[in-house]
Structure formats: C-alpha cells, structure tokens
Amino acid sequence: MILSAQQSLIIIAIIALGTFLTRALPFLLFPSNRATPPFILYLGNVIPFAAIAMLIVYCLKNVSLLAAPYGLPEGIAIAFIVVIHLWKKNVLLSIGGGTVLYMALVQFVFA
Amino acid sequence: MQEKTKALKAAFPYTLPVMTGYLFLGMAFGILLNSKGYHFGWALLMSVFIYAGSMQYVAINLLTIAFNPLNAFIMTLMVNARHLFYGLSLLGKFGEGGSKKPYLMFGLTDETFSILCATNPPPGVDRGWFMFFITLLNQSYWVMACALGGILGSLVSFNTKGIDFVMTALFVVIFLEQWKSQKQHAPALIGLGASVFCLLVFGPVNFIIPSMILIILVFTLLRRPIENLTNLETIDKLEEVS
C-alpha cells in the first residue's frame, strides 16, 4: 500500500460520491415532467463512445513503442480480443482469454 | 410480500448473463486489489459503496499513485460520464421506482442499464420492485465476486503479473460492442484521436483532463455535422428504448 488506510478511505469515499453523482445527476437536473435541453441530450449521446476510447488509451498510457518489447504483448492481446470477440461474440471468452493470453505473454514470452 | 417475491422471481432470469460476467471481472478485481496490498475487506467495501466495474479498476490506479483527491474526483466524473446518458434514457421508467428510486440510481451500472432499458416486467409484476431486484441481484453477484477474489488472492499465491490487463480487455470489448451498434464512428474516433494527441502532448501523468476538455470542445464545435450524421440512428435507438 502506497497510501495510508485513512488516505485510501478518503479516495474511496470520493470515488463513491462521484459515481453516485454521475448516476443521479440526470434525475436531479431533469425531473420527468420537464424537457431536457437538446445540447445535453447530444452530449449524452456522443460522450459514451469517446469516453471508452479514452479509457483504452488511459490503460495503455505507459506502453512504449520505442523500447523493448515495443508494445507487442498489448498489441497481440488486443488483436486476439478483437478477432475472438467478432468471431465468437462471447464477452467472457474475449475478456478472460485476452487477459490470460496477455499474462502468458508478459510472464513467459517477453519476460 | 407476495408482490416482492413475484418481482424477484421475474427478475432473476434476466440477471444470469450478468452473473457470469461479474464473477470473472469481480474476482479479477479482488485478486488485483489484493496484489496491491489491500485485503478482501477493501474489495468488499468498494464493491458495496462504489459499485462500478470500470471505475473500481481505475480506483486501483488511483490508490497506487500519490494521494490526490481532486484528481480522483475529476477522474471519476470522466470515467462515469457515460452514466449521465443512461440516466437520461431511464428518466421515464425510474419515475415508477417510488421509494426504490435512490437505490436504482446508485446501482445503474453498464450491465444493469443494458437490462433495464431493454426489458419490461411481465404482466402483473410491479415495475418498481422488478427494477429493484435486477439491480440488487446484480450488485450481490458483484460484491460476492470482489470479496471472493480478495480472499482467493490472499490464499493462493500465483504470479499476477499482467492481470491488470483485464481492464484493458473490458474496455476493448465495450468499444467493439459500441462500434458494432453504430453506423457512424465519429464520436469514438474523436475520443481516440483526442486522447492519443493529449497523451503525446501532455504525457502519461497529466493527459486525462486535457483529453476530456478537448473531447467536449470538438463535440461542441462539430455538433451540427455529427448530429446530422447520427440523427437517424438516435431516433431509431430512442424508439427501441421506449
């Protein structure tokens, strides 16, 4: 643990609060008897796609393409997930298989 | 009482696919958190009070860097921004939630949302309780899996190197699902382009907030063309949901 127990609790409480806030906000701002502004509807419509793409970049932020192993474990595992997911359409297989493959790659092949 | 039993029985079958998904993701979360020095009680605490799959994985990162509450808060809002959209689609249905509404809002994960927006209770079953039990069952799977993973991680010692890739895998799969659901990929590509751009400019430590600002800026500037392209799809989607 890098943080103390108290600091950890503060971080967890803040995340819990922030999460509830994003889930409850639409209901607080737009009671069902009033119309929602079009710009908000528009943002709500497009942000989910951008947010997931951003999260993928966030996960891969420390991967270096210029030093060994040149992002190969990540590249191979993601390619595997894309192929297996489009082929088998099984979420569990895609996530589980991709993770196990990645672990095997970093522990044995690129160790 | 009978009303509740009926709603619980009706809700259970819908939650089965979520159960399998949550078992794997939750256990991996517990194991990963344990590997960072947090015993299973922490996994239990987080799955009860945060209850957000992707955010709990991001939380592990936030717990393993220098203490920065503001960064944690902004990161939470950004990661969960998609929930704003879920809420907007369920404004009507949750109106029938009654006293269960606060819990329904609290438990609105991606998976619960996908069930709630796509299903209606069978005739004679109260919608409020039906939605409540779907949410509660899903969370109970998640809490059990997270705690179990935490316990397992402390009992069995194995090389967990690379297990945090489960988060990347989860987001890649969500990305693919989103990609398949849309004909028009500008929003996803804008998110990808803006984030990579900000990563290169601001570096791995500071790029998330600039990315978020840039994404909203681009969406604001390109509102008209994007709306023209997505208009038909949105109408289709709204009709499906309602």
pLDDT at residue A79 tops 60: yes
- Chain A hits for B227, Cβ within 8 Å: 42
- Chain B hits for A92, Cβ within 8 Å: 20-21, 24
Q: Which residue has the tokens 């503001």?
A: B70
Buried/exposed B72-91: b ≥16 CB within 10 Å, e otherwise: bbebbbbbbbbbbbbbbbbb
Determine the distance in angstroms separating the CA of A105 from the nearest CA of chain B, rounded to an integer. Answer: 9
d(CA B98, CA B139): 20
Long-range contacts of A69-76 (CB under 8 A, 24+ apart): A69/A110, A72/A105, A72/A110, A73/A102, A73/A105, A73/A106, A73/A109, A73/A110, A73/B162, A74/A102, A74/B165, A74/B168, A76/A101, A76/A105
The tally of CA atoms less than 13 A away on the side-chain side of residue B240 is 11
Q: Which tokens hold the place of A104?
A: 């095997």
- Residue count (chain B): 242
Query: Any chain A CB within 8 A of the CB of B42?
Result: yes
Mean pLDDT of B178-186: 88
Higher pLDDT, residue B222 or B91: B222
Contact, A86 vs B176, CB < 8 A? yes
Give B195-228 pLDDT, tens digit per residue: 999 999 999 888 887 888 899 899 999 999 988 8
d(CA A18, CA A14): 6
- Chain A hits for B50, Cβ within 8 Å: 12, 15-16, 19
Q: Which tokens hold the place of A18?
A: 């922030």
Query: Any chain A CB within 8 A of the CB of B69?
Result: yes
Determine the distance in angstroms separating the CA of B191 from the nearest CA of chain A, rounded to an integer. Answer: 4
Nearest CA in chain A to B161: A103
Is the CB of B216 less than 8 angstroms away from the CB of A54? Answer: no
ipTM of this model?
0.86
> Residue B46, SS3?
helix
Give B14-54 pLDDT, tens digit per residue: 888 788 778 888 999 999 999 999 999 999 999 999 999 88
Determine the distance in angstroms separating the CA of B123 from the nearest CA of chain A, rounded to an integer. Answer: 24
**CB neighbours of B96 closer than 8 A, spacing ≥ 6?**
B127, B128
Longest dimension (CA), chain A: 59
**CB neighbours of B9 closer than 8 A, spacing ≥ 6?**
none
Query: Any chain A CB within 8 A of the CB of B54?
Result: yes
